[in-house]
Chain A
């Protein structure tokens, strides 16, 4: 993975010195909150309902064991012994004290991690495929390009005060695990006549006005990437609306001006920009970064221990069936560690769990750890022979839950348990859905299903692209939950359709159960997934199950 050079280290140290001085000036009264707020937001420090929250970037979802242990140390020393992994491959600490934050920053910097541009109207943490460099379906590792974009965008003088926040996602595979179509810019790696390049998607986003991104350029050679990105962001910087916060994202700029007009402006700007970029230097930098992302040597490994455990142990078998993904090397597997134990908070990990993951990544996983936007942890390169031992070790910390991709593998934003913007809670809804279907022993029978929950229309929980999406609202001073069905965050991205009126807090789990029972009753066979059944049947049978008196009585 990328290793900081002297420039990065000094840049981070200087930035932390600045922030330390800013915090001191706020505490001694020289800065008002209005003056301080943009400064703290530039450094990932929010004020939430019960405390400050520090959002630390995990660039393109990649961590090494040393960094994971550092996160555990921060959790123990300055927080409450846990961290929350988010849908943007960041980690949030929910309880830091303002006076401690400069020390936390310095401590994180020791492991080459920071909180820069994890908030504010800037280019945010660049996200990527959590199976990068391991998936069998990949064209190439997207992370070197993601790192190049991180370097280009960090402290970019022109882009510190954009009309609104700006999110970029990169994937190196046809299979889109990075939700690229729901980002301000999505980059999908493609090859044309042997040359590597990107399909550039622009103007996607969820939130108040959800939009699926549109293709701006079908093929962009890698060498043109930075001048082209700069052309997009500077076009947006000029054109994007600053008069209305709710219309300020690039998706609205694209929507209001039309993709053709945006394309004209971007292409014109790109032609101006190109000579200002030193293409050779960029290429050399990319080559230098690529060298740091060399895939580990994966020696051939016999998978007999795996076969034996798979045949003998039903619990291991259930875990292997749900939590493994094919690796490009058939002797290996990609392991997803579920942070969704039934009844636990989606995406939370204790410091002990973080340390165990770090140890296991070292022992079995070539020291590679990934965080997925689905709020799980991935060990991307595990020899199949080591899977039984890994599984056994994970169990010690409750990390061997066999539910990846199932109904309890829920994305949930922090909602009104933490977030100051929330209109309702998300976490307890996720907890109760997970425990309810676990108690019914229906989870494995239901099969692949993505439930995503947001605590307000900002849609951090990606509810629009959940097969079942749940949006928590405040209706006349009471929590109320709206359901959408049929959303899809994959390469076939679709926004879900609202079913109708929302449900009260104590009615939302029964409502979800009615949807599930309608699916189970109407699917052609267990092989027909919820999403496939929905596409075949449409909304009607689910609506009937939700709202008809009969449906209500049957529940």
Chain B
């Protein structure tokens, strides 16, 4: 597999809620991928990761994820990251229910139609 190099973002799960968060330029955390700090060189990325890792009271499990830069902001490269910023495909739960997730045109339109609606708490 060719090793294309991508810009990266720092992502983690929030300590209390457990939901997906991204490191911002202001050294805080956002639930919106569009507001994530995008790192274009590996040294900066490692520094940002170390900064995220240090925030043990806010987040769990920091790592770097690849993104593609588009007109509508950074987009996940891998489908796992796409699910993380959207929520599960069987119910409209997670970020998609909170109205914070973008549903860009490249999101696979494969959510089963018959998925049973279960009210979001």
Contact = CB atoms under 8 A, between A and B. Distances in A.
B64 interface: no
A416 B20 CA distance: 14
Contacts of A96: 18
A431 to B, nearest CB: 4
B121 interface: yes
B105 interface: no
Given A29-B56, A33-B60, A80-B93, A506 B78 contact: no
A551 interface: no
B79 to A, nearest CB: 7
Contact of B121 (A95, A343, A428): A95
A497 interface: no
A506 B108 CA distance: 11
A418 B116 contact: no
A47 interface: yes
A432 B17 contact: no
A301 B56 CA distance: 63
A477 B82 CA distance: 12
A199 B67 CA distance: 54
A160 interface: no
Contacts of B106: none
B90 A428 contact: yes
B84 interface: yes
Interface in A332-355: 341-345, 348, 350
A476 B77 CA distance: 11
How big is the B interface, by class? 35 or more
A94 B60 CA distance: 17
Given A47-B18, A97-B16, A98-B16, A345 B83 contact: no
Given A33-B56, A33-B61, A476-B1, A50 B90 contact: no
Contact of A50 (B87, B108, B111): B87
Contact of B60 (A47, A435, A478): A47
Nearest to A424: B79
Contact of A29 (B1, B20, B57, B88): B57
A478 B77 CA distance: 11
A184 to B, nearest CB: 28
Q: Which of A50, A52, A418, A428 has the most CB of B within 10 A?
A: A50
A478 to B, nearest CB: 7
B90 A477 contact: no
A479 interface: yes
B56 A51 contact: no
Interface in B94-121: 94-95, 108, 110-116, 118-121
How big is the A interface, by class? 35 or more
Contacts, number: 114
Interface in B1-44: 1, 13, 15-20
A32 interface: yes
Interface in B65-82: 77-80
Which secondary structure characterizes the binding site on chain B? Answer: loop
Given A47-B13, A97-B16, A428 B110 contact: yes
Given A50-B20, A99-B16, A416-B80, A431 B120 contact: no
A474 B108 CA distance: 16
Contacts of B93: 50, 80, 94-95
B24 to A, nearest CB: 20
A343 B15 CA distance: 33
A411 B80 CA distance: 22
Given A29-B56, A350-B118, A51 B112 contact: no
Interface string A421-436: 0100101100110010
A81 interface: yes
Interface of B: 1, 13, 15-20, 56-57, 60-61, 77-80, 83-84, 87-91, 93-95, 108, 110-116, 118-121
Given A33-B60, A94-B88, 10 more contacts: A33-B56, A47-B18, A51-B13, A76-B121, A96-B18, A417-B90, A422-B80, A431-B112, A474-B80, A477-B78
Interface of A: 26-27, 29, 32-33, 47-52, 76, 79-82, 94-99, 341-345, 348, 350, 416-418, 422, 425, 427-428, 431-432, 435, 474, 476-479, 505-506
21 contacts: A27-B57, A33-B56, A47-B13, A47-B18, A47-B60, A48-B18, A50-B18, A50-B19, A50-B95, A51-B94, A52-B18, A79-B121, A81-B121, A95-B121, A98-B18, A343-B112, A343-B113, A344-B115, A427-B88, A428-B112, A479-B79
